[in-house]
Amino acid sequence: MLLLLFLVGGSTGYMVIEGYNFMDALYMTVITISTVGYEEVQPLGEAGRIFSMALIISGVAFFLYIAAFMVQTMLEGQIRIILGRRTLEKKINRLRNHYIVCGYGRIGRVLCKNVQDYPDMELVAIESNSEIIPTMEQDGVLYICGDASEEDNLLKAGIKRAKGLVAALATDTNNVFLVLTARQLNPDIMIIARASNQGAKTKLLAAGASRVESPYDIGAVSMAQRLMRPSVSSFLDLVFTYNRKDIQMEEIPVDPASSLAELMLKDSGIRQTYNLIIIAMIKPDGGMLFNPSHNTLIQAGDTVIAMGESENLEKLATVLRAGKKNNAMG
């Protein structure tokens, strides 16, 4: 609009002062405000020269303003990007025992949303498609834009400090290479990988994956269970719905310093104090006791799988994990 104002005002001025026709006046206005130095259409009078000098000064100021505006816009955009990237890097560098999700496609995004429901579980997503960045920012996910199979990106995500990694890339080949790289960088990390078929499962396990899951197999089994055991499936859906408070299932490790360590279930007071049901107990060697009896001993290193209200589960977790010395018996 400002440029149009200059063109109209300059052309009108030359037409009135020097008597130019419209095309000559417009031509004079353009070469004057652009300061290209071409000759006048015809010699200018004193009034025309004064008008041209004013038009030149205004034109130079106009172009300087436009140039400054463009530079400012570009610099501010770059500064925002740099500051945003540094803020992300600082947050990621502070993470410990977090999880890395490689691939923010359909599966990766749903997985991240479910993990975010657990306040104690922190994660970083690695995605190579820059078009998905706005989605990750909208979801509030810490992310790194790049190839997840490259060592530099895994190191930026803190793989040496991470507790677990999920390989959810688009192809089995990419997931195999990712698992090999991740296992080399952190031999102790838990790796869960996505596979499309049984052959890929074998390769991923051989590459170092701790566990391999096929979304297709899981989906088919879930659909079959809904056909054969609809009530059981509905109950499990309730248990694994994180936004419910009245019924939850949680796994809680037993700290050696816990006041419940080395007590039998009947003496722990878990049922009486917390109104929880102990579904199973997992031993350090991987053995699992389903529906443990009241004489089962709670030992350090065990993992207790309990079900009940989320508030009561949090109280039990505080006792088992933090090692409170108070007696839990009511």
| Cα–Cα distance measured from residue 128 to residue 236, given in angstroms and rounded to the nearest whole number | 35
- pLDDT score at 184: 94
Kindly report the three-state secondary structure assignment for every residue of 125-142.
EEECCHHHHHHHHHHCCE
| Cα–Cα distance measured from residue 8 to residue 145, given in angstroms and rounded to the nearest whole number | 49
pLDDT at 112 over 80: yes
Model confidence band, residue 244 (pLDDT cutoffs 50, 70, 90): low
- pLDDT score at 242: 56
pLDDT at 227 over 50: yes
CA angle 57, 61, 64 (to 5 degrees): 140
Phi, then psi, of 206 in degrees rounded to 5: -65, -30
Model confidence band, residue 328 (pLDDT cutoffs 50, 70, 90): very low
The pLDDT tens digits for 293-307 are: 989 999 999 999 998
In angstroms, the Cα distances linking 261 to 141, 267, 274, 287, 312 are 37, 11, 16, 18, 18
- pLDDT score at 16: 87
The pLDDT tens digits for 200-210 are: 899 999 999 99
| Cα–Cα distance measured from residue 164 to residue 124, given in angstroms and rounded to the nearest whole number | 11
| Cα–Cα distance measured from residue 284 to residue 268, given in angstroms and rounded to the nearest whole number | 20
Residue-averaged pLDDT of the chain: 85
Helices (H) then strands (E): counts for the chain: 13, 12
Strands 297-298 and 263-264 turn out to be antiparallel
DSSP code string of 11-56: HHHHHHHT---HHHHHHHHHHHHTT--PPPSS---HHHHHHHHHHH
Rounded to an integer, the average pLDDT of 156-173 is 94
**CB under 8 Å to 84, separation ≥6 — which residues?**
none
pLDDT at 236 over 70: yes
Sign of the dihedral through C-alpha 236, 239, 243, 244 = positive
- pLDDT score at 156: 92
CA within 13 Å, CB half, 324: 10
Q: What domains lie within the chain, and their CATH numbers?
A: 2-87 (1.10.287.70), 95-220 (3.40.50.720), 245-322 (3.30.70.1450)
Between 239 and 192, residue with greater pLDDT? 192
pLDDT at 172 over 80: yes
* Model-wide pTM > 0.85: no
| Cα–Cα distance measured from residue 304 to residue 104, given in angstroms and rounded to the nearest whole number | 32
**Structural contact between residues 189 and 165, judged by C-beta atoms closer than 8 angstroms:** yes
Per-residue tokens: 201: 């499962």
